[in-house]
Structures are given as C-alpha cells and as structure tokens.
Amino acid sequence: MTGSPTHCPYCGLQCAMTVSGRPGAVEIAGDPAFPVNRGELCVKGWTAGEALAHPERLTSPLVRDARGVLAPSSWESALDRIEHGLREVQTRHGRDAAGVFGSGSLTNEKAYLLGKLARVALRTRHVDYNGRWCMSSAAAAARASLGIDRGLPFPVEDIALADVIVLVGANVAETMPPLMQHLRAQRERGGTLIVVDARTTATARAATVHLRLAPGTDTALANGLLHVLVRDGRLDEAFIRDRTEGFERVRAVVASYWPERVERVTGVPEGLVEEAARLLGQARTAIILTGRGAEQQSHGTENVHAFINLALALGMVGKRHAGWGCITGQGNGQGGREHGQKADQLPGYRSIEDPAARAHVAAVWGVREEDLPRSGPSAFELLDGMGRDGGVRALLVMGSNIVVSSPDASRIERRLRALDLLVVCDFFLSETAALAHVVLPTAQWAEEDGTTTSLEGRLLLRHRVFAPPPGVRTDLEILRELGARLAGSRLFPTSDAREIFDELRRASAGGPADYSGITYERIAREGGVFWPCPREDHPGTPRPLESGFPTPGGRARFHPVLHHGPAEPTDDAWPLWLTTGRLLAHYQSGTQTRRIAALSTLAPEPFVEMAFSTAERFGVAPGDRVVVATRRGQATFAARLTDDARDDTLFVPFHWSGDRRANTLTIAALDPTSRMPELKVCAARIARVVKPGEVA
C-alpha cells in the first residue's frame, strides 16, 4: 500500500483510502483491505483531494467591518472580537444567550471539545448539532426498544450473509455506492432485497421487491407486514416470550392493518405486501435497515419502532447476520451523537440529567457538577429562538451550513440575521459563513488527526497527511483557544487530538458508548475497534446485542404504533407531496462538492423529478423550469420527467442554495420524541411553469 492510510471526509460509510501527492495534485486510492469498502470509493471519495488546494479556500479570518463587509483580519483580533462578543452577550442577557451549533461531520475529538466548550466555558444549555436532523429518530427508537443506539449493531460484512434485507428509505446506490457490493454479494448467495421507497431509485431498481409507498406512510406498511406475519403464524414466539416485552399490545394494534387497508393508505398493492411478508416469514436471517426516508418525519421515531417491532417479532435481533440497523448518513454521525454536542447529552452517550453521569464528567473536566448546565432545546428550536427573548444572541457554528440544510430555511436565515454575533468556522465561505460577523478558516480532513466512528460503531483513525495552508488553524486549536480565553488554560490545556481523545476516553468510561479501552495505536494496529470497549485488553464489541439487551429489564421492548400520516396533508390547494434527498455527486449542503469540478459537472444544478403523468397534468414539458411552492416559500428547478416517480410526489435534491434551495420548501414539524423535523414530506404545488426563453 502506498500513500498514507486514512478515511473519506464525507459519509458515514467512512471508506478507507490512501492519500499521497501534494495539495493540488492529490492521489487517492481505495484500501482493498478495509472490509467495508474493499477498495471501492464513490466519485465523492475519489475527488475529495480537490478541495484541499481549491482557490476559494479561506486562509485568513474574516471580520465584518463598520461598512458591513467581511474583511481579512489577524487571528488575534478575530478571536478578540469573538471573546468580547460572547462576554458582552452573556453579561447582558445571561449565560444561555450564547449558543453552539455542531455537526455530525466533526471528528470525535472536535465534537467532544465543542460540547465541553459549551458546558464548561460558556456554561450554556444552548448546544445542539445538525445530526439532530439526521439520525435522531433512529437513535431515540433504538434506545427505547433495544437499549442501545449504535447505528448498525453488527459489522457491514453481515449484510451479505442475511437471507433477506429490507432497506427502508435509503438510496445507498447513490449515497453510499461501495455498500452496494455487500447487497450484490447477498443477492449472489441467493438472498432477497426488499426496498421500501417512494421513488424508484437506483437502489430500488436493484431490488427483488420494491414497495413504492406514499411518503409518510411507513408505519402503516410495517404494521401491515407484521399483520400478515401474525396471521400466517410466522413469528418467533419463543423469542418474543423469553427475550422481549410488550408484544401483546403490538399484536392488537397490527390486527387492523390488513393488506387491503395498507394498500389504501400506502399505495403499495396488497399482493406486494403479502409477497414481502412471505419472504420475511420464510427467512432464516433478515436484516431491516432504516434511513432518512422513514426517519425524517414528524413520526420518524414511531416509524423506526414499527420496523424494529417487525425485526423483534421475527426473532431476528441479537441473532448472527440478522437484526435492525440504521444507515447513518454523516461522516461521523455516529460518534458525533455520542460525546456531548447534543443538547441532552454528556460524553459516552450519557444523559446530562443523570446525577451520576454529571458527577463523572464534571470530575474528568475538573469542574463542579452543579456548574454544568442542564438539557437545552433541540437544533431547530435553538435556531428558531435566535434573537428572541430567552434565546441565543451569539452563536458559534462549526462544520454546518445551516442556511442550506435547515428545514424552513428562510425562517432560520432570518433568525441568523437577528443575532448580535454569528461566528462560523469553515474552510469555504459557505452560505452561513457569508452571514457571519466573524469567519475562522479551518483545516480540512487530510490536514489534521482525529477519530471518527463509522455507521457500524467502528472507531477509525484519520491522519494528517498535509500541512494546512498558512493562515489556517484546526478546529481543535480554535476550540482550545476560545476555551482557554473564556475559562482558563487549566480546563482547556491542549489542542492535540490524541490528548483530547485520551480525555474523551476517560469521560466516556462506564457510559453506554464506552471508548476507554480504545487507543490510537489500537485503531491503527487493528484497522478499527468497535465500541463499547471498556478496557485496553477488551476486544471491542462488533455485535453488542448478541449478549443481551442493555435495557433496564434485559428485554427488548415492543412499542405499539399507529399510522398518523404527515403533519401537513395534501389538499386541493397543495395537491402534491414533496420529498427531498441526496444525489451521487453531492454531499449534504454541497459546500465542498459544489466546488469540485468533476462533481459539479456530473450534477450542475438541482431538478424537480416528477412522473410523466404529473407533468402532463400540470403542463410541464422537458426543458421547462418549474416553480415549486409550499406554504413556506418557493424555489425554481429544471423539470426532470421520469417513470421513477409516483404521480402524487415530487422529488428535489437539497444540495443547493438561493432560489434553488429545497429547504426553503420543507416543513419544521418536529417529531415529539426525537425533535427531528419532517424534512422528507410536506404538501406542495407547482406554482408556475417557465417555458424555455421566459424569465423565471
């Protein structure tokens, strides 16, 4: 192997790669020895090096001057401005007037230090991150049902060995192409793939059975599948009796989800519901995987419960090559939700309201337990409160482009403009950075050390391969400097990633996500270590549910759930469903990928995908531009007509900004448990069709 071993900066698959060359001429190769990607990378991974020497790279802090212009500044005066701004806001409005917004893309060390900065230096309860909009519904359901939130509670390699895979609301052929080799291997072994998706995606086209449900009807479909399995006596009654609790209430609930009714609600023909249930009922091993399609809904937690119920009723959870898992999207979506940048959480996946957890973490940090703030509002609520009484007046953003990725984004953009101080740390002038009072230029993935935790709970090591450009600092250096200025160097002594990881290990010790036995050396030597890993001589835990369920009673818990439908139903004025998602060529808000030539050539602009019949109904022809409207605003997209769409559903990718921003349209209806916004479904209409040559 030539080049330095590391991992991709983008999605939760965290493909292993080697990096060599120099910025401007970086060579990247997939690592064939890593069992997750086995040498494969997607086009985003291959081209990730281009961002390092990109001409738009920020190399100097920017501070908004008296004319309102972002002008280059020294680090000292930019940091002075931030320190004084934070102190002034907190003096005038109280500690909670300062807030912190993090990201599922940050390394574990950054997520940890960002949470510590919020709790120890700012002592604010206003800290949350964009992962709230990504995996929080799956996390909430998994914790309640299985006692643990570890995306996949088994290695990715298990996927190829299951008889049946059910993939719900995840288009991995576009978002995580190297994962498809595991699905192909499963098919080659004689396995069956069932895809549940409102669109006929590239992944759905690879399926044995595609259940093309209406957006927002996942619970009805899962309950319908379980109804058939109960009716046909295909349950694992011994597992239900010996290892679980609460099934009788689920049995009663699913009794009314007979296939004809499920077809009326979901649009999935009853014959396909029967067929999918039959395949599941006959499987010796089945894995059910949920993604954002099912989770980013105002009933996302219930949707996940419905699919976990299915896996439990079949006795699949805790069994080898079987179970339920969540396809985590962001690069460190898993680790990012374990170490304290979430509003209700302390490192090690501990609750900030748990007295023992508070005492443990306070002791590691060298502060008094009573000085730690309590739980705060979730991401959207934090942002929606900005500039209002009791809300945040000064916000530090790290690794997130809120202006593009927030639901109901125009509303959040207005709230950002109401802040007294907005500080954004980024390596490009993102749409959010462009609104900031201070922008700090940061290092990128190949310019710093750190760990991430993949979608399967495997800790991985990213290496510094190149020095950052002159004028740029790492996020850890920024956090350390701010922490030391606000709370003293004793509490923020270092910006060294390994030393911070060692502190994180102590803080996580004894918690649900226990990293205390994992070291940089072990990760490098073993190619990754699965948590929990409580001792250095502990082998790590690839399949944590094989030894039992870490719930209070040791049993998995069924949750009876009913179909409710989306928060905003369609009607005569808003007759279409709008759903949003990702494309192969772009990642999240597109801050990086829209700047990479090969990727922007592949996907230069967003589109609205609709069925031919829908296009005919609304007078849309190929080449037209379409103004799509919801109750929150409108945006314009090129029409893409396809056989792949339902005739009641529009699809728009969400990687773009301005008048092409999909999240201008999305709704912020929040799941009552996870506080996940309903990014995946709202009512829309085609407001206007702009013919070629007309002005939009």
Taking the least distance from each CB to ligand SF4, the nearer of 174 and 384 is 174
Q: By CB under 6 A, is residue 11 in contact with ligand SF4?
A: yes
Q: Which two tokens stand for residue 336?
A: 């990012």
Taking the least distance from each CB to ligand SF4, the nearer of 198 and 460 is 460
Contacts for 287 with CB less than 8 Å, ≥ 6 apart = 154, 158, 159, 162, 164, 165, 166, 316, 321, 322, 323, 324, 325
Q: What are the angstrom distances between the C-alpha of 243 and each of 145, 185, 240, 315?
A: 12, 31, 6, 9
Q: How far is the CB of 156 from ligand SF4 (least distance, A)?
A: 11
Q: How far is the CB of 17 from ligand SF4 (least distance, A)?
A: 7
Residues β-bridged to residue 441: 426
For the segment 44-63, give every residue that binds ligand SF4 (CB under 6 A): 44-45
- Sort strands 25-30 and 16-22 into parallel, antiparallel or unpaired: antiparallel
Q: By CB under 6 A, is residue 336 in contact with ligand SF4?
A: no
Q: How far is the CB of 103 from ligand SF4 (least distance, A)?
A: 16
Are 267 and 212 in contact by the 8 Å Cβ rule? The answer is yes
Give the binding range for ligand SF4 (CB under 6 A) out of 42-50, 348-356, 413-421, 506-514. Answer: 42-50
Note the Cα 423 to chain centre separation in Å: 23
Are 40 and 48 in contact by the 8 Å Cβ rule? The answer is no
For the segment 174-213, give every residue that binds ligand SF4 (CB under 6 A): 176-178
| Helix (H) or strand (E) segment spanning residue 111 | helix 108-116
Taking the least distance from each CB to ligand SF4, the nearer of 178 and 544 is 178
Q: By CB under 6 A, is residue 558 in contact with ligand SF4?
A: no
For the segment 141-180, give every residue that binds ligand SF4 (CB under 6 A): 176-178
Q: How far is the CB of 609 from ligand SF4 (least distance, A)?
A: 22
Q: By CB under 6 A, is residue 14 in contact with ligand SF4?
A: yes
Q: How far is the CB of 181 from ligand SF4 (least distance, A)?
A: 11
Quick one: which of 5, 10, 592, 650 contacts ligand SF4 (CB under 6 A)? 10
| Helix (H) or strand (E) segment spanning residue 581 | strand 576-581
Q: How far is the CB of 458 from ligand SF4 (least distance, A)?
A: 13
- Compute φ and ψ for 83, nearest 5 degrees: -60, -50
- Cβ neighbours around 462 below 10 Å, total: 25
Residues β-bridged to residue 459: 453, 529
Q: By CB under 6 A, is residue 42 in contact with ligand SF4?
A: yes
Give the binding range for ligand SF4 (CB under 6 A) out of 7-15, 363-371, 395-403, 426-434. Answer: 7-15
Q: How far is the CB of 42 from ligand SF4 (least distance, A)?
A: 3
Q: By CB under 6 A, is residue 41 in contact with ligand SF4?
A: yes
Q: By CB under 6 A, is residue 112 in contact with ligand SF4?
A: no
Taking the least distance from each CB to ligand SF4, the nearer of 492 and 530 is 530
Q: By CB under 6 A, is residue 15 in contact with ligand SF4?
A: yes
Contacts for 634 with CB less than 8 Å, ≥ 6 apart = 627, 628, 664, 665, 687
Taking the least distance from each CB to ligand SF4, the nearer of 31 and 477 is 31
Residue with tokens 């109280």: 94
Taking the least distance from each CB to ligand SF4, the nearer of 11 and 106 is 11
Give the binding range for ligand SF4 (CB under 6 A) out of 36-44, 350-358, 536-544, 560-568. Answer: 36-44
Q: By CB under 6 A, is residue 8 in contact with ligand SF4?
A: yes
Taking the least distance from each CB to ligand SF4, the nearer of 177 and 391 is 177
The SS3 call for residue 337 is coil
Half-sphere exposure of 269 (CA within 13 A, CB side): 5
Q: By CB under 6 A, is residue 486 in contact with ligand SF4?
A: no
- Compute φ and ψ for 639, nearest 5 degrees: -75, 135
Q: Number of residues interacting with ligand SF4: please give it, by CB under 6 A.
A: 14
Taking the least distance from each CB to ligand SF4, the nearer of 576 and 585 is 585
Measured in residues, the chain has a length of 696
- Compute φ and ψ for 140, nearest 5 degrees: -65, -45
For the segment 351-380, give every residue that binds ligand SF4 (CB under 6 A): none
- Quote helix, strand, coil % in the chain, to nearest 5: 35, 20, 45
Binding interface with ligand SF4 (CB under 6 A): 8, 10-11, 13-15, 37, 41-42, 44-45, 176-178
